[in-house]
């Protein structure tokens, strides 16, 4: 459990540069100031707290991300589809669902997908204090680690894209705030072919795509993913993970 010190990029940078502590503190402060200017879409210029919406490699790559699971019905089906196509994705998990279905978290990690903290039960963090946010994110991470010991929790995604002060907190806990460039609005299933259309026509090079494997009947999403992967590959796309800065 981290206390008030920073994890991840900030820590390694101050170590390697051997700057005096005073300078490291001022770097921290400026990160905080930049984060204060974050917008809901996350297009700020902050260093470690930037909300990423692009793939790691850029170019003709795409990242699939799935929110609100794990779900006992749809997550296993989705994992089977991704395995069959050899695609690695990112799963943004609710702590409450992790507690209910820890074996699915283990399976997600064992399949080589990346994990993302999506709060305990999809709270809107927009007006929360840093302390309240940290408590929620730590509780969620503890459940994920309990379910899948040793698994890395690479990202954090704020429910509803309501970021508030959460990018700052997530970055200080070593998690990359993760946004998206394309949302296919599959929370209200419009039919598989319409989802396929939204993905294949909406994708741009380097896009992080937001979809759902939990929170409702996601069978159309699973089918759309199955159909979309070969289509995107035939258009020259390869699959990548979201950027970590
Ligand atoms: Zn969500």
pLDDT at 8 over 50: no
Catalytic residue among 48, 67, 68, 213: 67
Question: In this structure, what DSSP letter does residue 36 have?
Answer: H
pLDDT at 27 over 50: no
CA distance 184 to 92: 16
Q: What pLDDT was estimated at residue 9?
A: 32
Share of the chain above pLDDT 90, in %: 79
* Cα 159 to ligand 1 centre (Å): 5
Domain membership flag for residue 67: yes
Q: Tell me the C-alpha to C-alpha distance, in Å, between residue 119 and each of 78, 91, 141, 171, 179.
A: 21, 12, 9, 14, 14
Q: Tell me the C-alpha to C-alpha distance, in Å, between residue 103 and each of 77, 138, 145.
A: 14, 20, 12
* Cα 127 to ligand 1 centre (Å): 17
The total domain count for the chain is: 1
Is 186 catalytic? The answer is no
Domain membership flag for residue 3: no
CA distance 10 to 18: 12
Domain membership flag for residue 245: no
Q: Tell me the C-alpha to C-alpha distance, in Å, between residue 12 and each of 5, 15, 52, 166.
A: 12, 5, 20, 21
Residues 188-206 have pLDDT tens digits of 999 999 999 999 999 999 9
The whole-angstrom distance between residue 84's C-alpha and the CA centroid of its chain comes to 22
Catalytic residue among 97, 113, 118, 212: 212
Residues 218-240 have pLDDT tens digits of 999 999 999 999 999 999 999 99
Q: What pLDDT was estimated at residue 10?
A: 32
Mean pLDDT over 159-164 rounds to 98
Residues 80-117 have pLDDT tens digits of 999 999 999 999 999 999 999 999 999 999 999 999 99
Is 85 catalytic? The answer is no
Structure tokens at 191: 């039919």
Domain membership flag for residue 2: no
Domain membership flag for residue 111: yes
Helix (H) or strand (E) holding 182: strand 182-183
Which of 28 and 153 is assigned the larger pLDDT?
Answer: 153
Pairing of strands 207-212, 182-183: parallel
CA distance 213 to 72: 10
pLDDT at 13 over 50: no
pLDDT at 23 over 90: no
User: Which domain CATH number covers 186?
Assistant: 3.20.20.370
Helix (H) or strand (E) holding 44: none
Range of the domain at 128: 9-239
Rg, Å, the chain Cα set: 18
Q: Is the separation of the CB atoms in 12 and 178 below 8 Å?
A: no
Q: What pLDDT was estimated at residue 34?
A: 33
Average pLDDT over the chain reads 85
Structure tokens at 167: 């990018």
pLDDT at 215 over 70: yes
Q: Full-prediction pTM beyond 0.75?
A: yes
Q: What pLDDT was estimated at residue 97?
A: 98
Domain membership flag for residue 100: yes
Mean pLDDT over 141-170 rounds to 97
């Amino acid at each position: 459990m981290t206390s008030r010190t920073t994890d991840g990029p900030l820590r390694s940078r101050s170590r390697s540069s051997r700057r005096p502590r005073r300078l490291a503190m001022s770097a921290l402060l400026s990160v905080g100031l930049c984060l204060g200017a974050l917008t809901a879409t996350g297009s700020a210029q902050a260093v470690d707290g930037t909300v990423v919406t692009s793939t790691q490699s850029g170019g003709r790559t795409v990242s699939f991300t799935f929110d609100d699971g794990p779900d006992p019905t749809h997550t296993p089906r989705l994992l089977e589809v991704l395995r069959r196509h050899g695609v690695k994705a990112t799963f943004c998990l609710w702590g409450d669902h992790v507690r209910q279905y820890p074996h699915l978290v283990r399976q997600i990690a064992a399949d080589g997908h990346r994990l993302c903290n999506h709060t305990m039960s999809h709270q809107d963090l927009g007006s929360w204090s840093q302390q309240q946010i940290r408590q929620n994110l730590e509780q969620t991470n503890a459940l994920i680690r309990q379910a899948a010991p040793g698994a890395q929790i690479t990202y954090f995604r704020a429910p509803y894209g309501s970021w508030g002060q959460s990018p700052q907190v997530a970055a200080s806990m070593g998690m990359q705030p993760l946004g998206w460039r394309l949302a296919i609005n599959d929370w209200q299933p419009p039919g598989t072919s319409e989802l396929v259309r939204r993905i294949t026509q909406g994708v741009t090079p380097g896009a992080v795509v937001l979809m759902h494997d939990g929170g409702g009947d996601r069978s159309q999403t699973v089918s759309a993913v199955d159909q979309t992967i070969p289509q995107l590959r035939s258009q020259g796309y390869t699959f990548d993970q979201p950027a970590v800065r």
